[in-house]
A and B are shown apart, each in its own frame.
Chain A
Amino acid sequence: MSSNRQLSTRSLLQQLRNLGNIRAPDSLLPAILARIELEDVAVVEAQTMERITKRAISEGTEHNYGVVEAQTMERITKRSERRELFSSVSESLQTEYGSSSHELALDTMSLSALEDRCMSQIERYRRNEPHNDQECLEVFYRAMVKHDPDAWELLQRLFTPTVREWMCHKPYRDVACRHEPEENYVNDAFARVWQASMCNRLEFTTLEAALDYLKISLQGALIDKLLAYSRPREVPLPDPGSDTYGVEEPATEDEYGSYELWEIVKSLLPNKRERRLAYLMYVGGLKPREIIHLCANEFSDIQEVYRLHRNIIERLMSNSDQMRWRLDGEES
């Protein structure tokens, strides 16, 4: 520094005060709220599972619930495996109850007749009055197991007001709605249920369980959106100081072609674990610490995540020409 003047106490104090003006990134608030939502999902799932397991035990089933419960309790802490969990639970319950829970008369009932009955039962359910689950469960069954599109429409029509009401009670509704309209979250919740039903056989034995699943889907939609808005849309650069830092490659990619890019990246990674990590980091946008937190059973510690990430970067760097060539090919 060229200046010869001595720094005065007042000037130093002023400089220190100015340093306190650093502002947190905009992504901090949604990221924190998403983590809290995740925590709440884990609690809701744990309570739901406990309820299901207790009921099953009290009904004297022959299943080995000790083992089932241990496995399911381990799973409920992981959001990513939520669908598997519900699938396995519903399968075990289905084995237990068979299909007898669906009355023959309900089987043959028209959707319009079901709609009328469901409306009144949902009202009773919402008022905490004694109600009959079977009509609503029949709609869920036709929509999610038989994949009847009309039944699916009815399901959405019947339960959209309920989902909207849950959304209104979400403490972070205002924050979430700064990013997208409420309608999108409601639709996303139904889309998730529909998607899950296409991949797994989802059958519920009580309306409460079905609505719990819908509620969790809404939370999932909310969390994913908050997480998505909590991160800049960038392909992460290698850490400063690492061997690969500053070699080349741009920091960002346009959203256009991101699917193609991911397909190319995937094809260049022969190792399954590396592919999984690349997916979590580049597509899911998770940080190493979040990966350890959310996928504790997949990676032993943060060092392993960093090591695998280094391998990924090295592989991609050594294949950068091929990537560029293939990307150019995709574009042309």
Chain B
Amino acid sequence: MSPREEDLPVLLATDVRGHFHFLVEAYQHKLFALTCFLVGNQQDAEEIVQDVFFCAYQALMRYPVQQVQTLKLRPWMTKIVLNLSRNYHRRCNGKYAPTSMSFDAPMGRELVDSIEEKACPSPEEEMVTRESRDDLLAQIANLPERYREVVSLHYIYGLPHYEIATILGHHSVDTVKSQARRGFEMLKQAMNKEER
């Protein structure tokens, strides 16, 4: 049986190798979803998530026991995802800039298919058509980078504002709130423009 998320730091502090797979099992899906939206395609997201866990493993092996025990795993792992995704953009574009993500391309379709195949659709979900979901994904990709990160972390990944502020470091909670609101409004406007 998998341990509870809050017990993981203590378990990892006692034996990183022995309990690391629990960490992977606990976070792989959420981090993968987040990475998909940050980098824009599933193949690279998969490689980046592998790197994320590998970095985490190396760090956990290096950290003193007390540090591991008190580690807040969710923001810590999310921060690694953000850093590696930013590195990815730098490597790909030569600078830190948002990539344009076309969901008409096969990888975009794959992403949508994976949601449809594996998620358990609620009645509300079923009402959402494939076209509108494609549009939504494309619009998220087109958001300016800082809004894309905050919108992905808050609305898709479900992190509270204060946790996002901690992860992003230089942001206050109010800045995060306003960026999330503004990003959301931009997204809504863009979607409504599409609908018209």
Contact = CB atoms under 8 A, between A and B. Distances in A.
Of A17, A32, A175, A287, chain B has the most CB atoms within 10 Å of the CB of: A32
Contacts of B188: 7, 9, 12
B156 interface: yes
Q: Among B156, B184, B192, find the residue whose CB has the most chain A CB atoms closer than 10 A.
A: B156
Contacts of B18: 171
Contact of B119 (A3, A21, A31, A33): A21
A15 to B, nearest CB: 6
A21 B17 contact: no
Interface string A1-45: 101111101011111111111111101110111011001100000
B115 A22 contact: yes
A12 B184 contact: yes
Given A29-B28, A172-B21, A240-B106, A24 B125 contact: no
A121 to B, nearest CB: 29
B72 to A, nearest CB: 20
Contacts of B30: 20
Contacts of A11: 128
B187 A32 contact: no
A40 B194 CA distance: 52
A55 interface: no
Given A1-B131, A17-B155, A19-B136, A29 B191 contact: no
Given A20-B33, A289-B47, A15 B128 contact: yes
Interface string B171-196: 00000000000001001100110111
A33 B196 contact: no
Given A6-B192, A33-B21, A171-B20, A23 B32 contact: yes
Nearest to B136: A15
Contact of A15 (B24, B106, B133): B133
Nearest to A34: B50
A27 B49 CA distance: 12
B140 to A, nearest CB: 8
Given A6-B195, A29-B24, A29-B28, A24 B46 contact: yes
Nearest to B137: A19
A171 B61 CA distance: 15
Contact of B156 (A1, A19, A23): A19
Contacts of A6: 192, 195
Interface residues of B, number: 56
Given A29-B28, A33-B24, A4 B128 contact: no
Contacts of B47: 287, 289
B54 A28 contact: no
Place the interface of chain A in its size category.
35 or more
Interface string B12-23: 000101111100
Given A12-B184, A18-B125, A22-B111, A171 B192 contact: no
A79 to B, nearest CB: 15
A19 B37 contact: yes
A25 B131 CA distance: 24
Nearest to B17: A171
A22 B32 contact: yes
Interface in A124-151: none
B6 interface: no
Q: Which 4 A-B pairs have the closest CB atoms?
A: A21-B119, A24-B32, A22-B33, A16-B155
Interface of B: 15, 17-21, 24-25, 28-33, 36-37, 46-47, 49-50, 53-54, 57-58, 105-107, 111, 114-115, 118-120, 124-125, 128, 131-133, 135-137, 140, 151, 155-158, 184, 187-188, 191-192, 194-196
17 contacts: A6-B192, A7-B192, A7-B195, A9-B184, A13-B155, A14-B124, A19-B140, A21-B115, A23-B29, A23-B32, A23-B114, A28-B46, A31-B50, A33-B21, A35-B54, A240-B106, A240-B107
Given A19-B133, A22-B32, 15 more contacts: A7-B192, A12-B191, A14-B128, A24-B28, A24-B32, A24-B46, A32-B53, A35-B50, A35-B54, A36-B17, A36-B54, A39-B57, A39-B58, A171-B18, A240-B105
